[in-house]
A and B are shown apart, each in its own frame.
Chain A
Amino acid sequence: MIRANDLILRTTTILIAFILFGFSIYLFLAGHSAPGGGFIGGLMTAAAIVLMYMAYGYEAMKKIIPVNYQNLITIGLAIAVLTSIGSFVFGEPFLSQTFEYFHLPVLGEKELATALLFDLGVYLTVIGVTMTIILSIASDR
């Protein structure tokens, strides 16, 4: 079989993967007061990675993103459990959360909540699970 020429797909992927990563980060951070959150943000990041896999192939992507996605599941679950246990330090029940208003340099007065740290765990776990499923099916011969 002659080698296929994927020039248009690859050039488009370079542009669109950036937009997808930006949109996923936006969804992840917007989850507190708008539609979004860790789950859909993680799914969008996984969609961007899958798009890059489709354009560039398995071996090239293993060099570009040298991440073991099974480890990502472990790290995400550990972050979720540790932030939940962290409420014991302050003498509060499991999974308690709090928020505080900070004055950030560029963004101004913002509310930072500890729920974002739990959401980070959800985000990493969703990326890990999705990529593990897709790559296990794709590399099945």
Chain B
Amino acid sequence: MNNISEITHQLLIITTDICIAVISISIIMLLYRVIKGPTNPDRAVALDAIGINLMALVGLVAVLLVTTQLNDVILLTGILLFIGTIAIAKFLEKGVIIDRELD
């Protein structure tokens, strides 16, 4: 019984490590798109995807550290990402982020 628990624990750690490595590669590939990207919308979408990958990374680190204190960070990252992406999109479309006059 103790042996099975030990094997499961090792399996969990190995899987988490592999997932962290894959997500890191994904972030590096997205960084290439941020730097190279021909237009600004390309960069905005790449930054959005990098943020989502960071949320996954925080979740995996929380699994690795065996803590629940990082759950707020994941939600917070998602919210800030959403607001930032909307601000970038409005700036690219209209040139202003907060409209002055009511339409």
A residues touching B (Cβ–Cβ < 8 Å)? 3-4, 9, 16, 20, 23, 27, 34-36, 40, 44, 47, 50-51, 53-54, 57-60, 134-135, 138-139, 141
Contacts and interface: CB of A to CB of B under 8 A. Distances in A.
B103 A54 contact: no
B100 A58 contact: yes
Given A44-B76, A51-B83, 5 more contacts: A3-B103, A36-B72, A57-B103, A138-B96, A141-B100
Interface of B: 69, 72-73, 75-76, 79-80, 82-83, 86-87, 90, 93-94, 96-103
A59 B101 contact: yes
Given A4-B94, A47-B80, A51-B83, A57 B69 contact: no
Contact of B98 (A4, A27, A40, A138): A138
Q: Most chain-B CB neighbours within 10 Å: which of A34, A35, A36?
A: A35
Nearest to A1: B94
B102 A60 contact: yes
B100 A23 contact: no
A80 B5 CA distance: 51
Contacts, number: 54
Q: Say whether chain B's binding surface is mostly helix, strand, loop, or mixed.
A: helix
Contacts of A34: 69, 72
5 contacts: A9-B86, A23-B75, A54-B86, A57-B103, A60-B102
Given A4-B93, A34-B69, A57-B103, A16 B82 contact: yes
B72 A35 contact: yes
Given A16-B82, A47-B79, A58 B99 contact: yes
B97 A57 contact: no
Nearest to B89: A9
Contacts of A57: 98-103
